[in-house]
C-alpha cells in the first residue's frame, strides 16, 4: 500500500485561505491538492493508497473533519472532471461529423481539380488531400487520445475521493526540527 504523507502544524495549512466556506466545506489549499495529485499519480492504478496526516496531537480530534474535507474536495473535482469529459466527448462527436464532411467535400473537390490538369491542378489536388486528412486530426485527437488522459485523471480523483486517511501524532521535537528546516528554506 502506498502512503501519501502530509505534515502540518495547524489545521489551516490544509485549506484554501481565500475560500469563505465553513470549515467542513472548504477547498483544499492548492499546494496540498497538487501534492496529493502528483504523489498519487506516481503509483499504479491498482495500488491501494492511504494518506497519513502528521500533525501535533491536539489535531487528532479533527481527523474525521480532515478526511471528510479531503474526500469532499476530490469528489467535487471528480464530478467536474466527469462533466469536462462528457463535454469533450460531445465536442469530439461534432468535430468528427464536421471533419468527415470536410473530408468528403475535399476529396470530391480534389477529383474535380485533378481533371483541370497541369501544375496548378496538381498543387491544388495535393492541398485538398492534405486538407481532407487534417480535418480529421482534432476529432481523432479528442476521441482517441484525450480520452486516455481524461480516464486517468478521473480514476485518480475517484481514488482520492475515498482514500483512507489516518493520523500520526508528531512530537514537539519533530515539530521543532520541521520548523527549523522550514526556516532554512
pLDDT band at 169 (very low <50, low <70, confident <90, very high): very high
Compute the Cα dihedral for 68, 62, 48, 144 and give only its sign: positive
Q: What is the rounded end-to-end Cα distance, in angstroms, of the chain?
A: 31
CB 80 within 8 A of CB 38: no
Q: What is the average pLDDT value for the chain, to the nearest integer? A: 86
Contacts of 82 (CB under 8 A, 6+ apart): 154
Residues spanned by the domain of 62: 2-184
Q: Mean pLDDT, to the nearest integer, of 13-37?
A: 78
pLDDT at 127: 93
Query: Cα dihedral angle (153, 155, 159, 161), rounded to 10 degrees?
Result: 70
Cα distances (angstroms) measured from residue 28 to each of 19, 32, 136, 154: 9, 6, 40, 18
pLDDT at 154 over 90: yes
pLDDT at 183: 53
Please state the separation of Cα 160 from the chain's center in Å: 12
Number of domains in the chain: 1
Amino acid at each position: 500500500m502506498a502512503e501519501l504523507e502530509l505534515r502540518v502544524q495547524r489545521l489551516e495549512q490544509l485549506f484554501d485561505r481565500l475560500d469563505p466556506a465553513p470549515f467542513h466545506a472548504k477547498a483544499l489549499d492548492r499546494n496540498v491538492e497538487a501534492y496529493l495529485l502528483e504523489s498519487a499519480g506516481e503509483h499504479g492504478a491498482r495500488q491501494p493508497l492511504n494518506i497519513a496526516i502528521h500533525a501535533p496531537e491536539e489535531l487528532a480530534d479533527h481527523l474525521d473533519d480532515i478526511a471528510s474535507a479531503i474526500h469532499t474536495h476530490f469528489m467535487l473535482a471528480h464530478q467536474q472532471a466527469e462533466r469536462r469529459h462528457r463535454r469533450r466527448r460531445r465536442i469530439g462527436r461534432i468535430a468528427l461529423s464536421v471533419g468527415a464532411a470536410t473530408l468528403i467535400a475535399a476529396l470530391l473537390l480534389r477529383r474535380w481539380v485533378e481533371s483541370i490538369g497541369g501544375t496548378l491542378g496538381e498543387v491544388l489536388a495535393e492541398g485538398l488531400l492534405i486538407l481532407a486528412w487534417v480535418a480529421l486530426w482534432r476529432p481523432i485527437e479528442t476521441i482517441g487520445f484525450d480520452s486516455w488522459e481524461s480516464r486517468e485523471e478521473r480514476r485518480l480523483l475517484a481514488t482520492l475521493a475515498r482514500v483512507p486517511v489516518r493520523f500520526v501524532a508528531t512530537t514537539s521535537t519533530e515539530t521543532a526540527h520541521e520548523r527549523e528546516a522550514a526556516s532554512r528554506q
